[in-house]
């Protein structure tokens, strides 16, 4: 707990330093070049990343055995995240395994989950195939610790979701944890901790690493060959026994199985804490950075990244966590991230019955209402063309178009837009393309004459046509 807090503090200091120094793109050193034999040209790389860059918005799903205790064990609750209960409640493996008998998600409906994501405007789904607790949410042939072999449910929800996602046109992707609290060769060596409980770090018995690597690769092979995921989203890489060389090797292994798959930077040791972007001393494995619970202060030109965030304060379901972000905050986060050239991976934590919590569904449908009208200003856009952040909101860009996302509507009916190196030919509300808004060129840019009242109090999109 204290260690994590300290890490967060160190990371925050790190962010402060990043914010105050302006790096030209080339100095970032953050190219995610794959290593041999999968060297690809820049054009091939762009082609492989294309759908992901255009998508901008995805659903993260943390679902597993931890949904059974749902944040409470032996009457004990915690401020900590739900999927870490095996760690913070110090639950021995043998006791944690008992949750399998209560994991029976009879209300799970793959079609409904995918519909919820699609209606929100999400283009892809990343689900926990195996989290730190080691429990597989799919039918693994190399383990009995999975939903088909160990629970009364006996069915494979991953298979159903993969089929539904394909049917409804969403990309289907996997989270997979390198850290595994259940693997026999792994053990905990920490004061006051059961040696088989969860812990931030584990050790491996002699010979255990080779054995575990084989197991992990077998599971990844199953996941890739049976479900054809579009992304592999690794995690738990901060173990002392996991090296960057291991990460590069695993990256190669996964791309060897599916050459056009996309892999996050948590496969290796590049990530700088929760800030999520890579260190710059060398080229690290992985295709994109993974800021966690935060949005970078500035865009990172030429670098792919995705902010993953929760809607309340936990990833895995906790029945008493009601600290929900508002729909407005979530919509503005999506816009903020797009304006900096990143993707938004927004989490839901379904219950052990198989339901996405109602507050999450409500917020997602609110986002969907906004996206139905404004998604053109999100999908396939690139970062804001303005040198500094706009006072009234954010901007996204496409060839020939700049989208102004107005959070603070001008009280004098005049939106002051700084110049950005392109001529503004005309302006209109995205919702009313036929009604041109008057524009006035000023010494420092353009003024757009807008209606007195904001058409959308969360974010109104104004289109600037440029040459």
**Residue 146 bridge partners (DSSP):** 136
Closest listed residue to residue 271, CA positions, set 287, 258, 256, 249:
287
Contacts of 130 (CB under 8 A, 6+ apart): 136, 137, 176, 177, 180, 219
Nearest to ligand JFZ of 292, 321 (CB atom)? 292
Strand partners, 76: 73
Least Cβ distance, residue 200 to ligand JFZ (angstroms) = 6
Binding string, residues 254-293; x marks residues near ligand JFZ by CB under 6 A: --------------------------------------x-
Answer for which of 55, 57, 73, 83 binds ligand JFZ (CB under 6 A) is 83
3-state DSSP assignment of residue 334? helix
Q: Which two tokens stand for residue 426?
A: 């005309």
Nearest residue (CB) to ligand JFZ, 269 versus 363? 269
Q: Note if the bond before 37 is cis, omega within 30 degrees.
A: yes
- C-alpha–C-alpha distance, residues 355 and 109, integer Å: 8
- Total chain residues near ligand JFZ (CB under 6 A): 11
Min CB(4)–ligand JFZ separation in Å: 5
Asked if 81 interacts with ligand JFZ (CB under 6 A), we say yes
Please identify, among the stretches 22-30, 76-84, 325-333, 396-404, the one whose residues bind ligand JFZ according to the rule CB under 6 A: 76-84
Which of residues 164, 180, 235, 287 is near ligand JFZ by CB under 6 A?
235
Residue 61 makes contact with ligand JFZ by CB under 6 A: no
31-39, 77-85, 299-307, 395-403 -> range binding ligand JFZ (CB under 6 A)? 77-85
Distance (Å, rounded) from C-alpha 134 to C-alpha 152?
A: 18
Instruction: Specify the residue, 269 or 405, whose C-beta has the smaller distance to ligand JFZ.
Output: 269
Greatest CA separation for the chain? 73
User: Would you call 17 exposed, middle or buried from its count of C-beta atoms within 10 A (0-12, 13-18, 19+)?
Assistant: exposed
For ligand JFZ, the binding residues in 313-372 under the rule CB under 6 A are 315
Question: Which residues are CB-contacts of 210 (< 8 A; sequence separation ≥ 6)?
Answer: none
**Stretch binding ligand JFZ (CB under 6 A), from 51-59, 81-89, 218-226, 405-413:** 81-89
- The residue (of 222 and 292) whose beta carbon lies closer to ligand JFZ is 292
Question: Is the CB of 73 or the CB of 420 nearer to ligand JFZ?
Answer: 73
Rg (CA), the chain: 23
Q: How far apart are CA 289 and CA 276, in angstroms?
A: 6
Taking CB under 6 A as the rule, which mask of x and - marks residues 381-410 in contact with ligand JFZ?
A: ------------------------------
Closest approach, Cβ 229 to ligand JFZ, in A, equals 17
DSSP string, 143-187: -S-BHHHHSSS-S-HHHHHHHHHHHHT-EEEEEEES--SS-TTEE
Among 51, 153, 238, 319, binds ligand JFZ (CB under 6 A): 238
Question: Parallel, antiparallel, or unpaired: how do β-strands 231-235 and 171-177 relate?
Answer: parallel
Q: Which is nearer to ligand JFZ, 7 or 382 (CB)?
A: 7
Provide the minimum distance between the beta carbon of 387 and ligand JFZ in the complex, in angstroms, as a whole number. Answer: 33
Q: Which is nearer to ligand JFZ, 201 or 431 (by Cβ)?
A: 201
Q: How far is the CB of 143 from ligand JFZ (least distance, A)?
A: 20
The yes or no reply on residue 80 touching ligand JFZ (CB under 6 A) is no
**Token pair for residue 68?**
């059974």
Interacting stretch for ligand JFZ, rule CB under 6 A, among 34-42, 80-88, 203-211, 399-407? Answer: 80-88
Three-class DSSP category at 232: strand
- What's the order of all strands across the beta sheet hosting 401-406? 393-398, 401-406, 460-466, 424-429, 436-437
| Contacting residues toward ligand JFZ, per CB under 6 A | 4, 7, 81, 83-84, 200, 235, 238, 292, 308, 315
């Amino acid at each position: 707990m204290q260690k994590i807090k300290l890490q967060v503090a160190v990371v925050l200091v790190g962010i402060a330093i990043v914010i105050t120094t302006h790096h030209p793109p080339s100095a970032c050193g953050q190219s995610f070049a794959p290593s041999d034999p999968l060297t690809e040209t820049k054009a091939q790389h762009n082609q492989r990343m294309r759908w992901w860059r255009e998508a901008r918005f995805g659903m993260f799903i943390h679902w597993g055995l931890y949904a059974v205790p749902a944040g409470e064990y032996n009457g004990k609750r915690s401020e900590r995240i739900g999927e870490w209960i095996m760690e913070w409640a110090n639950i021995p493996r043998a006791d944690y395994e008992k949750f399998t008998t209560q994991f029976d998600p009879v209300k799970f409906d793959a079609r409904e989950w995918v519909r919820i994501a699609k209606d929100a405007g999400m283009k892809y789904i990343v689900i926990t195939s195996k989290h730190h607790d080691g429990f597989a949410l799919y039918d693994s042939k190399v383990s009995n610790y999975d939903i088909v072999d160990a629970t009364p449910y006996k069915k494979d929800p991953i298979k159903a979701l993969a089929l539904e996602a394909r049917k409804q046109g969403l990309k289907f992707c996997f989270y997979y944890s390198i850290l595994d609290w259940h693997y026999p060769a792994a053990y905990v060596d920490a004061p006051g901790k059961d040696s088989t409980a969860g812990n931030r770090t584990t050790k491996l018995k002699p010979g255990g690493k080779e054995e575990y690597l084989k197991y992990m690769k077998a599971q990844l092979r199953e996941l890739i060959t049976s479900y054809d995921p579009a992304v592999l989203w690794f995690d738990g890489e901060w173990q002392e026994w996991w090296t960057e060389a291991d990460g590069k090797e695993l990256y190669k292994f996964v791309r060897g199985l599916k050459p056009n798959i996309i892999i996050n930077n948590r496969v290796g040791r590049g990530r700088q804490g929760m800030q999520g972007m890579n260190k710059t001393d060398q080229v690290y494995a992985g295709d994109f950075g993974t800021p966690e619970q935060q949005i970078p202060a500035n865009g990172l030109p030429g670098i792919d990244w995705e902010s993953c965030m929760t809607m309340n304060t936990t990833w895995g379901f906790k029945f008493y966590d009601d600290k929900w972000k508002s729909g407005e905050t979530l919509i503005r986060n999506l816009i903020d991230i797009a304006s900096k050239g990143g993707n938004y991976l927004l989490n839901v934590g379904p219950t052990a019955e198989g339901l996405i919590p109602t507050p999450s569904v409500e917020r997602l449908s609110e986002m969907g209402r906004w996206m139905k009208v404004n998604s053109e200003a999100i999908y396939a856009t690139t970062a804001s063309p303005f040198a500094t952040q706009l006072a009234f909101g954010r901007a996204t860009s496409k060839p020939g178009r700049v989208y102004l996302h107005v959070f603070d509507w001008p009280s004098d009916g005049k939106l002051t837009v700084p110049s950005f190196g392109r001529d503004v030919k005309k302006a209109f509300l995205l919702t009313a393309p036929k009604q041109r808004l008057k524009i006035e060129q000023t010494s420092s840019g353009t003024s757009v004459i807008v209606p007195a009242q904001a058409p959308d109090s969360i974010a109104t999109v104004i289109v600037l046509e440029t040459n």
